[in-house]
A and B are shown apart, each in its own frame.
Chain A
Amino acid sequence: MRTAEKLAGLEGSLWHTDRAPTIVIDLLVRIGFYGNVLYMTRAWFVVVGFLLVGSPPVIAQDRGPQTRVLGFTDFGYVAGDGTKDDGFRLGQLVAQASSQLTPRVAFFTELTATRTATGIRFGMERVIFRYDFSDALKLSGGKYHLPISYWNSAFHHGSWLQTTAARPSPIAFSTPLVPVHVEGLLAEGSLPVSDGLLVGYMLGVVDGRGTALAQKYGLDAGPMGANPAGGIAIAADYHRQAYIATVQLRPSALRGLQIGGALYTDRPMNGLGQQVDERTSSVHFVLERDSPEIIVEHTWIQHRETLGGSWTTGTAWYAQVGQRLRGTLDAFMPYARVEGIDVADDDPLLGGIQATQDALVLGVRVDFVSVAALRVEYRRDSMPARDLNRLHVQVSYVFGGLSGG
Chain B
Amino acid sequence: MWPRAMMVLLTPLVMLEPESALRERGSGTASQAVEFVVVAHDDLGVEDLSSEQLRRIFLGERQYWDDGSRILTLIGAPGTAGRTTVLDLIYDMTEAQYREYWIAKIFRTQTTSGPRMLETDAALLSFVSRLPGSIAVVPASPDTDGARILSIDGLKPGAPGYPLRRSPS
Contacts and interface: CB of A to CB of B under 8 A. Distances in A.
Given A6-B116, A6-B119, A104-B70, A161 B10 contact: no
Given A252-B55, A319-B9, A320-B9, A154 B104 contact: yes
Interface in A112-160: 126, 128, 130, 132, 134-135, 153-154, 156, 158
Contact of B12 (A2, A321, A367, A398): A321
B112 A68 contact: yes
A334 B5 CA distance: 17
A100 B112 contact: yes
A253 B19 contact: yes
Interface stretch (A76-84, A176-184, A192-200, A264-272): A192-200
A6 B118 contact: yes
Given A3-B119, A3-B123, A370 B18 contact: no
A154 B108 contact: yes
Sort chain B's interface into a size bin: 35 or more
B53 A11 contact: no
Interface centre among B2, B12, B70, B112 (most CB of A within 10 A): B112
A338 B12 contact: no
B116 A401 contact: no
Nearest to B106: A98
Sort chain A's interface into a size bin: 35 or more
Interface stretch (B31-39, B92-100, B139-147, B161-169): B92-100
Given A3-B118, A358-B1, A68 B13 contact: no
Contacts, number: 150
A10 interface: yes
A372 to B, nearest CB: 12
Contacts of A68: 106, 112-113
A402 to B, nearest CB: 5
14 contacts: A3-B123, A10-B117, A60-B70, A98-B112, A106-B109, A126-B109, A285-B10, A294-B9, A298-B2, A338-B5, A401-B99, A402-B114, A404-B77, A405-B99
Interface of A: 2-3, 6-7, 9-11, 60-62, 66, 68, 70, 96, 98-100, 103-104, 106, 108, 126, 128, 130, 132, 134-135, 153-154, 156, 158, 161, 190, 192, 195-196, 198, 250, 252-255, 285, 287, 290, 292, 294, 296, 298, 317, 319-321, 323, 338, 340, 358, 367, 370, 398, 401-405
